[in-house]
Amino acid sequence: MNTQAPTHWVIRVGDGQNFWNSSPHRRWGTKGRTTIKPGDLMWFVTNKSNGHAIAVATFVSLNERSYTTMTNKELGWTGDGEWKYELQYDNLYDVSHLHLLTNIKGNNSIRKYNQNCQVNLPTEYGLIVRYSRVMYIPSE
């Protein structure tokens, strides 16, 4: 059993609409591989919002997209993004109402949490788990 604390990651999700559209399927798209490990925590933040955190979830797996995976249309993704991989997750919490502004800026769509973040994500996560419920998402 791994007793090491999970790594927190900050993941940009555009305006968040495609993210919420695909949340019933517990997956998000990315263009490149990542070093996120199962059990790590992913904080989804919107662009042009001072890094507003809208959700947090536990990473499960990274899968390359193929003809056997859901299409962009099936996932509810609009736009012309070519997502090569899917980040699959579980234990999704909607935190959009908390107004957690990470102030993370830059071109990296996936980055490891660090001291530049204006919110202490590990502390906030403990409070979120204590005082909130995982979003109910029916099994596929």
Q: In the prediction, which pLDDT does 79 show?
A: 85
Which value, in Å, is the radius of gyration of the alpha carbons in the chain?
A: 14
What 112-117 contacts at long range (C-beta under 8 Å, 24+ apart), as own/partner pairs, is 112/7, 112/8, 112/9, 112/10, 113/7, 113/8, 113/9, 113/10, 113/43, 117/10, 117/51
Compute the distance between CA of residue 5 and CA of residue 100 in angstroms, rounded to an integer. Answer: 21
Query: What is the pLDDT, as a whole number, of residue 135?
Result: 78
Q: Which pLDDT does position 140 carry in this prediction? A: 54
Q: Looking at per-residue confidence, does 108 or 11 come out higher?
A: 11
pTM of structure = 0.91
Structure tokens at 112: 């490891």
Domains and CATH numbers, the chain: 8-131 (3.10.590)
Q: What is the pLDDT of residue 138?
A: 59
Chain segment 69-114, per-residue pLDDT in tens: 999 999 999 987 789 999 999 999 999 999 999 998 777 789 999 9
Q: Are 7 and 36 in contact (CB under 8 A)?
A: yes
